[in-house]
């Protein structure tokens, strides 16, 4: 392994890494907003309601098809639909968002449904409407439950962004591959990408761990398992 | 009853009191079926304003279901409930063919539920809010009052349930007895016309039970209308004006607390009380 080459190449990967972070975080933000809205709609949707079928169908579609096909689908189907071509960055955001929403709907649904029935009943008994119950009682509690699966989803999203290289978005993987094919240092470039993805995801999951154990604690003692793993003091 | 008297009133609270003699809470021919299982059968019950009614009976006798039907946490299969002249869960509408009853929409029901507090066996405090905000969130979010005012009122209510020093504690940091007293304060914050208690002490040890019962006794002395499902027979004797004994979904015996608990007339009531009294 040519370590000096790896160190020398690092600066050339900064901008592509930035693009990877940008496309992932913007997608995550949009997908979380859509996922929360659709997930909550799914929870309050009566059985056998067409809206429920639509949401379920979407989830199955996303789960049942490979991300690479979803990316190509956005690449080839979106321009004729919109009548113009999106910038590559936003095309990537669209593909990743559409993919991630499918998973996040299920994350939100599962988290809200895991809140004990007694919380609904207590909220109803003081005259809260469904909207207040969802926004003020269930969602704040579900938020904490959602963090671990959302961290999974975040890491999947960051890694899935590497597939955007197939539509020539110059993100980390595309940049790494192009340097590799011009310098023939394939192993070095793959190792370097692995290190950068790993470091990025570690940083992000440290952040979500902080959210889980500090922001959404609600007076619970942090479990020693979780805090020690994150190196966080109570 | 509640500390802050000069705040804006709910429309329902402004309604004139019913004619004297009309009961505050009226339950007529209430039935609740789960498939072929009849949980509550033809219950008729009247509660006057300021009265404390205790419902006793074995587990599965339908007393909790009856209580949960009063604020429509369970939808009754048949029958009508009136509180202060207001029908709960349905409303009359005028049609071409005369007056018919129509089920309340979820928002109409939510509006009526504000007048009926409920205290649960499992406390059900909002886990993400501290004691103060558990109490303040109802008036703030449901009645739209300013948050500072609601918190001030919540502080007064915490003092009333002897928990003034626990305002910042989250439910997970409170004992069961403390949680239940916060839950009582949460119900009081809506200034309800009636509070339902569903086995409020069944999850508590004797000392914590005592704390909660003491608060309930104080509220009764202030004239709060309460319907209580409990297994605490000794407490019921001191506390209740009226006692209802239920078995298999039906009211078997009802009367003044002293009569039903000390001199039960029905064989079923006598048998049940002999188990409780030992």
pLDDT along chain A (234 residues), means of 10: 89 93 94 94 87 95 96 93 90 96 95 93 95 92 89 92 90 91 92 94 90 79 48 45
Q: Please count the helices (runs of H) and the strands (runs of E) in chain A.
A: 11, 0
CA geometry: angle at B245 spanning B251 and B271, to 5°? 115
The set of residues, in sequence order, having a beta carbon less than 8 Å from that of A109 and lying 6+ positions away, is A39, A42, A43
pLDDT digits (tens, 9 = 90+) for B159-204: 999 999 999 999 999 999 999 999 999 999 999 999 999 999 999 9
Three-state DSSP state, A121:
helix
Three-state DSSP state, A144:
helix
CA geometry: angle at B63 spanning B61 and B66, to 5°? 125
Asked if pLDDT for residue B13 goes beyond 50, the answer is no
CB-CB neighbours of A49 under 10 Å: 13
CB-CB neighbours of A201 under 10 Å: 18
ipTM confidence score: 0.87
What pLDDT, on the 0 to 100 scale, is given for residue A218? 78
| Among B212, B196, B216, CA closest to B204 | B212
Write down the pTM of the prediction. Answer: 0.82
Nearest CA-CA distance, residue B187 and chain A, Å:
7
Which residue does chain A place closest to B141, by CA atoms?
A132
CB contact under 8 A, A122 and B124: yes
Query: Of A116, A126, A132, which is closest to B190 when you measure between CB atoms?
Result: A126
Strand B52-56 relative to strand B90-95: parallel, antiparallel, unpaired? unpaired
d(CA A120, CA B127): 12
> For residues B237 and B257, is the Cβ–Cβ distance under 8 A?
yes
The set of residues, in sequence order, having a beta carbon less than 8 Å from that of A79 and lying 6+ positions away, is A85, A86
> For residues A159 and A197, is the Cβ–Cβ distance under 8 A?
yes
CB contact under 8 A, B117 and A126: yes
Which residue does chain A place closest to B196, by CA atoms?
A125
Strand B78-83 relative to strand B25-34: parallel, antiparallel, unpaired? antiparallel
Query: Residue B21: pLDDT band by 50, 70, 90 thresholds?
Result: low
| Among A214, A228, A138, A193, CA closest to A12 | A193
CB contact under 8 A, A122 and B125: yes
What pLDDT, on the 0 to 100 scale, is given for residue A222? 53
The sign of the CA dihedral B260, B263, B266, B270 is: positive
d(CA B66, CA B272): 19
Mean pLDDT across B258-278: 90
Beta pairing partners, B243: B54, B255
Backbone angles phi, psi at A90, to 5 degrees: -75, -30
CB-CB neighbours of A69 under 10 Å: 9
Backbone angles phi, psi at B91, to 5 degrees: -145, 150
CA atoms within 13 Å, Cβ hemisphere of A164: 32
CB contact under 8 A, B110 and A116: no
CB contact under 8 A, A126 and B187: yes
For residue B80, what are its two tokens?
């009508």
pLDDT digits (tens, 9 = 90+) for B22-64: 799 999 999 999 999 999 999 999 999 999 999 999 998 999 9
Asked if pLDDT for residue B103 goes beyond 60, the answer is yes
Backbone angles phi, psi at A53, to 5 degrees: -60, -40
Residues of A within 8 A of B170 (CB-CB) are 218-220
Which residue does chain B place closest to A132, by CA atoms?
B141
Residues of B within 8 A of A122 (CB-CB) are 118, 120, 124-126, 183, 186
pLDDT digits (tens, 9 = 90+) for B121-138: 999 999 999 999 999 999
Query: Of A116, A127, A137, which is closest to B113 when you measure between CB atoms?
Result: A127
For chain B, the three-class secondary structure string (H helix, E strand, C coil) is CCCCCCCCCCHHHHCCCCCCCCCCEEEEEEEEEECCEEEEEEEEEEECCCCEEEEECCCCCCHHHHHHHHCCCCCCCEEEEEECCEECCEEEEEECCEEEEEECCHHHHHHHHCCEEEECCCCCCCCCCCHHHHHHHHHHHHCCCCHHHHHHHHHHHHHHCCCHHHCCCCHHHCCHHHHHHHHHHHHHCCCCCEEEEECCCCCCCHHHHHHHHHHHHHHHHCCCCEEEECCCHHHHHHHCCEEEEEECCEEEEEEEHHHHHHCCCCHHHHHHHHHHHC
d(CA A160, CA A155): 8
d(CA B199, CA A13): 65
Beta pairing partners, B250: B247
Nearest CA-CA distance, residue B107 and chain A, Å:
6
Nearest CA-CA distance, residue A54 and chain B, Å:
24
Nearest CA-CA distance, residue B203 and chain A, Å:
14
What pLDDT, on the 0 to 100 scale, is given for residue B278? 66
Tell me A213's DSSP state. Answer: I
For residue A38, what are its two tokens?
């659709």
Range from A78-87, B9-18, B112-121 carrying the lowest mean pLDDT: B9-18
Asked if pLDDT for residue B247 goes beyond 50, the answer is yes
d(CA A127, CA A87): 49
Query: Of B114, B120, B183, which is closest to A127 when you measure between CB atoms?
Result: B114
CB contact under 8 A, B138 and A130: no
Q: How far is CA B149 from CA B5, B6, B12, B153, in A?
A: 12, 11, 21, 6
Three-state DSSP state, A1:
coil
CB contact under 8 A, A125 and B173: no
Nearest CA-CA distance, residue B97 and chain A, Å:
32
Three-state DSSP state, A70:
helix
Three-state DSSP state, A83:
coil
CB pairs under 8 A between A and B: 83
Q: What residues of chain A have any CB closer than 8 angstroms to a CB in chain B? A: 116, 118-119, 121-130, 132, 136-137, 140-141, 144, 216, 218-220
| Among B106, B81, B146, B112, CA closest to B12 | B112
Which residue does chain B place closest to A141, by CA atoms?
B128
Residues of B within 8 A of A127 (CB-CB) are 110-115, 138, 142, 190
């Amino acid at each position: 392994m040519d370590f000096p080459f790896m160190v020398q190449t690092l600066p050339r990967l900064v901008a592509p890494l930035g693009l990877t972070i940008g496309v992932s975080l913007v997608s995550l933000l949009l997908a979380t907003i859509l996922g929360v809205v659709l997930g909550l709609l799914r929870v309050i949707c009566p059985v056998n309601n067409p809206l429920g079928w639509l949401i379920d169908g979407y989830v199955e579609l996303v789960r049942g098809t490979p991300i690479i096909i979803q990316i190509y689908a956005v690449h080839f189907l979106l321009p004729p639909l919109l009548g113009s071509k999106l910038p590559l960055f936003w095309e990537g955001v669209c593909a990743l968002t559409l993919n991630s929403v499918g998973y996040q709907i299920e994350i939100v649904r599962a988290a809200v449904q895991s809140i004990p029935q007694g919380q609904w009943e207590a909220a109803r008994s003081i005259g809260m409407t469904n909207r207040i119950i969802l926004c003020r009682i269930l969602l704040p509690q579900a938020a904490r439950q959602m963090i671990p699966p959302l961290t999974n989803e975040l890491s999947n999203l960051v890694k899935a962004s590497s597939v955007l290289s197939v539509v020539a978005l110059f993100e980390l993987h595309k940049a790494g591959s192009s340097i590799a094919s011009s310098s023939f240092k394939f192993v070095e470039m793959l190792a370097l990408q692995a290190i950068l993805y790993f470091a990025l995801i570690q940083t992000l999951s440290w952040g979500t761990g902080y959210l889980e154990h500090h922001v959404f604690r609600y007076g619970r003692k942090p479990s020693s398992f979780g805090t020690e793993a994150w190196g966080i003091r109570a | 009853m509640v500390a802050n008297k000069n705040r804006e009133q709910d429309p329902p609270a402004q309604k004139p009191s019913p004619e004297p003699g009309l009961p505050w809470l009226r339950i007529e021919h209430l039935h609740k079926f789960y498939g072929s299982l009849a949980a509550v059968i033809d219950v008729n019950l009247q509660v006057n304003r300021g009265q404390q009614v205790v419902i006793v009976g074995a587990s599965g006798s339908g007393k909790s279901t009856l209580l949960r039907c009063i604020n429509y946490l369970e939808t009754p299969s048949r029958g009508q409930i009136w509180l202060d002249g207001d029908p709960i869960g349905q409303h009359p509408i005028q049609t071409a063919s005369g007056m018919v009853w129509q089920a309340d929409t979820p928002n109409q029901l939510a509006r009526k539920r504000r007048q009926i507090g409920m205290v649960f066996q499992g406390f059900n405090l909002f886990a993400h809010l501290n004691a103060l905000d558990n109490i303040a969130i109802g008036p703030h979010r449901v009645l739209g009052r300013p948050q500072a005012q609601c918190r001030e009122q919540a502080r007064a209510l915490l003092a009333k349930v002897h928990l003034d020093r626990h305002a910042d504690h989250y439910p997970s940091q409170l004992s069961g007895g403390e949680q239940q007293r916060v839950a009582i304060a949460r119900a009081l914050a809506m200034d309800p016309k009636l509070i339902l208690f569903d086995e409020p002490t069944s999850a508590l040890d004797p000392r914590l039970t005592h704390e909660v019962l003491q608060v309930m006794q104080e509220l009764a002395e202030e004239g709060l209308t309460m319907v209580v499902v409990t297994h605490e027979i000794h407490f019921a004797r001191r506390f209740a004006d009226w006692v209802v004994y239920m078995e298999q979904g039906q009211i078997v015996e009802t009367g003044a607390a002293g009569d039903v608990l000390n001199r039960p007339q029905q064989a079923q009531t006598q048998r049940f009380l002999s188990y409780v009294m030992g």
